[in-house]
């Protein structure tokens, strides 16, 4: 036992150094480098002022608010589906928030850790409205457009095989190419995460010319990911999302967060840093969650303005509703 002690201490010391690196780098550079989708409205796309807006980009803003006290201290790095994991592995970005599905192989072989689920999704199909198709089980023999390097490609093969149907996959490198192929008639069907299909449908000259079928053929939990080996940064990104979910559950919004600072509810006092310093264990200030809520809002506010009732997409909360409202969004407590 005595001969092993120096090795154990050395390992713990090295881990401690690794844990601090990303946080220190972010503070030194003055911004969070966030890998995002280049053009998926609702999740990440440039607005009329050339600013990235969407649910994924607001997750990045929440992290910046927690770490730097400024939600706008983010440098967005557009990445395609093929290069996204290389970018996070190599340190080109500090966090990947790009409609990326959490799977076992990605979690255990890609050198990344998923920090939570920002959007519960599932793969679906979009077809031309005039085809008269109402079910994915009517797609036998269809030409199906999809995107390379995604779980969608694998899910399609599983779905058609299990249902004893044939299909002709037409694979593109980017969502832009896939929707262009669908619009040009190169395929009968476009298949991807339902969230992406809703976004792509709105990009068509006539959105009513296409419809998203109700069939969901997979589980696609989407969320931010970080490099493995930095537990402190992993905790910061994870709890930035959890803070937004907890804030919605507690009824804390951008509009009332100042008022809530005087709340006698112990859960609210802990979350907002008025009772104890629950940011200390992550290397953050006591008001880290207050900064997120005051600058970005709670999870429900973020969802509504980007993809929900307050957006052009009008996507129902569904599984993304809080667990108290019939959904499965749930965050551990701050205490």
Greatest C-alpha distance within the chain: 76
The alpha carbon dihedral of 267, 67, 56, 48 has a sign of positive
Q: Residue 130: is it exposed, middle or buried by C-beta count within 10 angstroms (0-12/13-18/19+)? A: exposed
Stretch 311-334: mean pLDDT? 96
What's the rounded Cα separation, in Å, for the pair 197 and 294? 32
Does the pLDDT value for residue 25 go beyond 90? Answer: yes
Dump pLDDT digits (tens) for 176-205: 899 999 999 999 899 999 988 998 998 899
What's the rounded Cα separation, in Å, for the pair 28 and 145? 44
- Residue 204 φ then ψ, to 5°: -70, 150
Answer yes or no: are the C-beta atoms of 123 and 195 closer than 8 Å: no
Half-sphere exposure of 34 (CA within 13 A, CB side): 32
- Residue 242 φ then ψ, to 5°: -60, -35
Q: How far, in whole angstroms, is CA 157 from its chain's centroid?
A: 25
Q: Given pLDDT bands bounded at 50, 70 and 90, which one contains residue 10?
A: very low
Half-sphere exposure of 109 (CA within 13 A, CB side): 4
What's the rounded Cα separation, in Å, for the pair 31 and 83? 21
Does the pLDDT value for residue 84 go beyond 90? Answer: yes
Other C-beta atoms lying within 10 Å of the C-beta of residue 82: 13
The side-by-side arrangement of strands in the sheet containing 44-46 is 39-40, 44-46, 52-53
What is the H or E stretch that residue 291 is in?
helix 288-295
Answer yes or no: are the C-beta atoms of 43 and 54 closer than 8 Å: yes
Dump pLDDT digits (tens) for 28-80: 999 999 999 988 999 999 999 999 999 999 999 999 999 999 999 999 999 98
């Amino acid at each position: 036992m005595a001969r092993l002690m120096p090795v154990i201490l050395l390992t713990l010391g090295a881990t401690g150094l690794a844990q601090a690196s990303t946080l220190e780098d972010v503070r030194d550079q003055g911004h969070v480098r966030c890998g995002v989708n280049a053009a998926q409205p609702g999740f990440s796309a440039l607005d009329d002022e050339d600013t990235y807006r969407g649910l994924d980009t607001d997750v990045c803003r929440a992290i910046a608010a927690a770490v730097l006290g400024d939600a706008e201290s983010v440098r967005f790095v557009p990445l395609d589906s093929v290069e996204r994991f290389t970018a996070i592995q190599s340190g080109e970005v500090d966090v990947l928030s790009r409609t990326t599905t959490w799977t076992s192989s990605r979690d255990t072989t890609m050198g990344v850790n998923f920090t939570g689920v920002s959007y519960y999704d599932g793969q679906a199909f979009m077809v031309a409205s005039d085809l008269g198709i109402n079910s994915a089980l009517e797609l036998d023999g269809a030409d199906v457009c999809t995107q390379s390097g995604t779980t969608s490609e694998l899910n399609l093969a599983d779905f058609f095989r299990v249902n004893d149907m044939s299909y002709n996959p037409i694979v593109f490198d980017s969502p832009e190419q896939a929707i262009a192929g669908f619009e040009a008639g190169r395929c009968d069907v476009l298949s991807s995460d339902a969230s992406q299909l809703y976004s792509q449908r709105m990009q068509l000259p006539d959105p009513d010319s296409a419809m998203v079928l109700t069939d969901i053929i997979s589980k696609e939990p989407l969320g931010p990911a970080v490099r493995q080996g930095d537990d402190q940064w992993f905790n910061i990104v994870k709890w930035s999302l959890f803070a937004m979910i907890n804030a919605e559950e507690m009824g804390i919004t951008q509009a009332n967060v100042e008022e809530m600072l005087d709340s006698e509810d112990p859960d609210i006092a802990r979350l907002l840093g008025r009772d104890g310093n629950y940011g200390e264990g992550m290397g953050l200030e006591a008001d880290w969650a207050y900064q997120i809520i005051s600058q970005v809002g709670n999870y429900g506010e973020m969802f509504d303005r980007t993809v929900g009732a307050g957006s052009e997409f009008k996507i129902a909360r569904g599984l993304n509703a809080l667990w108290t409202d019939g959904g499965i969004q749930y965050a551990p407590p701050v205490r």
